[in-house]
Amino acid sequence: MSKLKAAFESGKFVVTCELSPPKGTDLSALFEKAEMVKGAVDAANLTDSAAARMTMDPAAAGHQLLQRGVEPIVQVTSRDKNRLALQSGMLGAAALGIPNLVIMGGDPPKIGDHPEAKGVNDLFSSGIIEAANALNHGRDYAGNELSGRTDFFIGSVCNPGAADQKAELENTRRKIDAGAQFLQTQAVYCAESFAAFREKINAPDLRLLAGIIPIKSVKMATYMNERVPGINIPDELIARIGEAERAGRVVEESLEIAAKTIADLRGECSGAHIMAIGWEKHIGALLERAA
């Protein structure tokens, strides 16, 4: 059984984080980061060529983390594979012992390191969720019987700060109706807007993990506000990071901001999904502050 699923069912405040497989075969950096978060998080996402930058298959990397006592959540994107390859890959992940999936569209190839690659997008996220649920019930997406079934705990993503709220809510609802058992969100910096989004979803039992990205610099905050859809870091927080930069205490201020965000969100979500982006060593301290 998925330990992540058991954590949700226990009623605890669930914490996941994000790790990236290597661009190559050297797993030492991944293992080092996994040791940093081990014991602090309930499970760790393994990204699927994040930012459309080619990296090791996340199921293979996830299998390696399982051997080291860190429960993986394997990302599955619609970007690179048709429905045949998606189902084949999920069966392979099950054979490697992967217990959790999180399904999403993926970043467009044109922004990555192979900009000439063609996106596939044969199925939308909701279709892949349906396919994963079919595998859990012993059938493929076309209804053909399998010789043995999977037992995935299936998640997906949503973006509370999306510019087109109506479209985002409809898309989120499709994912829930397709069988998503938990959702991780884009980074959140305002508890009130997050709560409003959750209320509009109208799914009281939904397991929702609020995305948390610590603000590492004014430059990073400005970039995310301008370039990352759905992220809106308030000017007040950017000013605080600017002051911290001048005082040489960015890490402390950033963790304080993130911890306060988590504390403010506790009544509105089932947990937090921390995207540390190189600050994995600070996740334990962040969670201690948030507690």
C-alpha distance from residue 2 to each of 44, 58, 106, 192 (Å): 12, 17, 24, 32
Mean pLDDT, residues 256-260 = 98
> 275 and 18 in contact (C-beta within 8 Å)?
yes
Which residues are 153's β-sheet partners?
Answer: 100
Average pLDDT of span 28-48: 97
Q: Could you report the per-residue pLDDT of 216-257, keeping only the tens digit for each?
A: 999 999 999 999 999 999 999 999 999 999 999 999 999 999
Q: State the pLDDT confidence band at 289, using cuts at 50, 70 and 90.
A: very high
pTM of the model: 0.96
Per 3-state DSSP, the chain is made up of helix, strand and coil in percentages (nearest 5) of 45, 15, 35
Cα–Cα distance measured from residue 113 to residue 94, given in angstroms and rounded to the nearest whole number? 29
Which pLDDT does position 204 carry in this prediction?
85
Residue 291 — very low, low, confident or very high, per pLDDT cuts 50/70/90?
Answer: confident
Identify the structural domains of the chain with CATH numbers, from first to last: 3-215+267-281 (3.20.20.220)
Of 126, 130, 58, 38, the residue nearest 98 (C-alpha) = 58
> How far is it, in rounded angstroms, from Cα 227 to Cα 223?
6
Q: pLDDT tens across 70-124, in order?
A: 999 999 999 999 999 999 999 999 999 999 999 999 999 999 999 999 999 999 9
